Amino acid sequence: ITVVTWNVGTAMPPNDVTSLLHLNTGESNDVDMIAIGLQEVNSKINKRLKDALFTDQWSELFMDVLSPFHFILVSTVRMQGVILLVFAKYYHLPFLQDIQTDCTRTGLGGYWGNKGGVSVRLSIFGHMVCFLNCHLPAHLEKAEQRKEDFATILHMQQFEGPVANGILDHDLVFWFGDLNFRIESLDICFVKYAIDSNVLSQLWEKDQLNIAKSTWPVLRGFQEGPLNFPPTFKFDVGTNKYDSSAKKRKPAWTDRILWKIKPPSKGLGTGGHRLSQGVLSVSQLCYCSHMEYTVSDHKPVAAIFAVQFASKVDKPLVEIYVADEWSRPEQAVVRYKMAVGFHRSSWDWIGLYRVGFRHPKDYVSYVWARSDDGERCLEKPLCAQVMFSEEALPKGNGEYILGYYSNISSSIAGVTEPFQISLPRSEEGSSSTDSSGSSSEEDDSTLVLLAPKSRSPSPGKMKRHRSRSPSLAKFQGLILRPSSRDRGTSRSPSPQSRRSLPRNIPTIHLPQEELGHHEVKSKELGQAAESVEGSSFYQTVQEQGGLQRVSAASSLARADPRNLGLLPALRLEMIDQALGRRRESADQGYYPCRRMSPTSPAGCGTSPKEGHSP
């Protein structure tokens, strides 16, 4: 297990972090998990709004760097500028269960999250492990405040489940972060002399954390490796020189990584299944800082641990069986069986992942999981069988992995070994002729409105996306005709539909009723497009005629919305024809309903201010 802590000082991510994660050495082949704790990530309002729509740049960087090494983001939690990310090799995912997160604010008396702690707890091969990333109060004289805040974090953070409800109840705890402990008594000149002379041991006994470990009861049992690297704070940004400003802060080991093993239990455990936990052992293989990173006034610190468990759960909750290669669509059959006691949900699904995927929601396609005959399937050699539709399969050659995602545990409960998919690429057809008789040059006047594509891997955000229906289900029926444009690959963070996805982008045929004004200005067209609700993607074509309006009594409104598949894009065709009574109605003061989508308000007023949708 590799643990990294870094106070990034609101800086932008560097271009390369491979050396920080020890990926440029042979050690990366042996590492199974990586926990990364960041502090002071830029959390200004404009930055947080952007991060709410997209993944923050630091998380994106680590996912991009780690995915080629087969590390998958298991869980992440953020509290303002404090972020914790936990990665693991993809083949370990079925054995990482009971994943929960928590956070505790301690800034401004507990009302502000600039200081505090965030945690990720999980069961690793049946053993409870907790990662705790903290940012404690600064300054030399705040040692007692740091102790009180740490005690508050330990007391406040509680987890659900029959075991390990508190942080210290876990079999193993990793505590790291910008703990802000300083060097007492010694003046800055002596501290710098000891650093330059490489006699760091003369500073250890004056380190506040070393003193606290032997005097504070709350720190009893926490261990740390020797501080054989220079103090990691405070540097001039962009250099390896200690603070040269007017404040001239004394160098200190503020960034630390500690661990604690739960004391051995006496006698038999619950049910007599565990005699002692003392056989759990942790060895620190590396504890170092990385002076090559200069974007912050802190240097990052990394540690590598070898963890030896007494036993491990080596059978996944879900076993998946698949052919070694899919060269034909009919071979895309997935068989799986679930372990006794596995709590399945009707929202479980099986994802198809390209080798090198970044997180559990980073699938190429998916199919809803199902269970045959309830509990009786547990007696069968194979519990259930599902099949991917031809439209859902990726074209071309590549290596892929199947994973069973459990909605209850928000984790992957079973994976396969990589297998090959070799399907011929489909040729893109030519554009079909529109029913309105428009020329092939109509694409020059096409306005495409695309919703922002979410790149967020945050399990917390995705878990709330429970809708099983496509986003266009609000439309009260659409008369659809397939077009020749191929469907794009969906990257939605939530499964979209149980139905096979349509091969092509459908086209909407609008009934000929009343038309809008003869001339539609581009500004009015933009306002009309913005009023469309209920879908993530729209495509509106502007011709010389007016916009076709939809009435609630039309056949468009009476169609069955369940006939809809997931529609990545829509083509709204307009009809170049005007009714003679259009001007007469306008002259009489009657303004017809200009409803631009079935989800817009249905009422039609008698004045421009009532019932009028631009």
> What's the pLDDT tens digit per position in 243-295?
999 989 999 999 999 999 998 875 444 434 343 445 899 999 999 999 999 99
- pLDDT by residue (tens digit) across 133-175? 999 999 999 999 999 999 999 999 999 999 999 999 999 999 9
Pairing relationship of beta strands 365-368 and 349-354 according to DSSP bridges: antiparallel
Span 225-250, average pLDDT: 96
The fraction of the chain above a pLDDT of 70, given in percent, is 64
> What pLDDT score was predicted for residue 355?
97
List the one residue out of 479, 495, 305 whose CA is nearest residue 403.
495
414 or 610, which is more confident?
414
> What pLDDT score was predicted for residue 365?
97
- pLDDT by residue (tens digit) across 340-395? 889 889 999 999 999 999 999 999 999 999 755 444 454 554 579 999 999 999 99
pLDDT at residue 549 tops 50: no
Tell whether the torsion through CA atoms of 505, 511, 516 and 519 is positive or negative. Answer: positive
List the one residue out of 417, 415, 418 whose CA is nearest residue 403.
415
CB 13 within 8 A of CB 293: no
Q: 0.85 cut: is pTM over it? A: no
Report the chain's mean pLDDT, rounded to a whole number: 76
pLDDT at residue 486 tops 50: no
Span 406-416, average pLDDT: 94
Per-range mean pLDDT, top range of 378-387, 458-467, 585-594: 378-387
What confidence tier does 28 reach under pLDDT thresholds 50, 70, 90? low
Eight-class DSSP state of 476: S
**Residue 47, preceding bond cis, omega within 30 degrees?**
no
pLDDT at residue 186 tops 60: yes
What is the rounded distance in angstroms from the CA atom of residue 302 to the CA atom of residue 286? Answer: 8
540 or 69, which is more confident?
69
pLDDT at residue 477 tops 70: no
H/E/C letters for each residue in 157-226? CECCCCCCCEHHHCCEEEEEEECCCCECCCCHHHHHHHHHCCCCHHHHCCEHHHHHHHHCHHHCCCECCC
- E strand or H helix at 529: helix 522-530
Return the structure tokens found at 179.
């703990």
Comparing 126-135, 241-250, 492-501, 582-591, the range with the smallest average pLDDT is 492-501
CB 33 within 8 A of CB 1: yes
pLDDT at residue 24 tops 90: no
Eight-class DSSP state of 440: G
Neighbours of 368 (CB within 10 A): 15
φ, ψ dihedrals at 10, nearest 5°: 60, 15
Task: Collapse the DSSP code of 92 into the 3-class scheme (helix H, G, I; strand E, B; otherwise coil) and give the result.
Answer: helix
What confidence tier does 522 reach under pLDDT thresholds 50, 70, 90? very low
| Domains of the chain: residue spans and CATH | 2-45+54-265+278-309 (3.60.10.10), 318-372+379-423 (2.60.40.2840)
What is the rounded distance in angstroms from the CA atom of residue 613 to the CA atom of residue 130? Answer: 54
pLDDT at residue 605 tops 70: no
570 or 124, which is more confident?
124
> What pLDDT score was predicted for residue 447?
32
> What pLDDT score was predicted for residue 363?
97
Span 48-55, average pLDDT: 73
Say which residue the tokens 């390369």 belong to: 16
What confidence tier does 321 reach under pLDDT thresholds 50, 70, 90? very high
What confidence tier does 524 reach under pLDDT thresholds 50, 70, 90? very low
Under 8 Å CB-to-CB from 357, ≥6 apart: which residues?
67, 72, 90, 363, 401
> What pLDDT score was predicted for residue 110?
78
> What pLDDT score was predicted for residue 372?
56
255 or 443, which is more confident?
255
> What pLDDT score was predicted for residue 526?
46
> What pLDDT score was predicted for residue 278?
53
Span 186-192, average pLDDT: 96
What confidence tier does 31 reach under pLDDT thresholds 50, 70, 90? very high
pLDDT at residue 196 tops 70: yes
448 or 104, which is more confident?
104
pLDDT at residue 428 tops 70: no
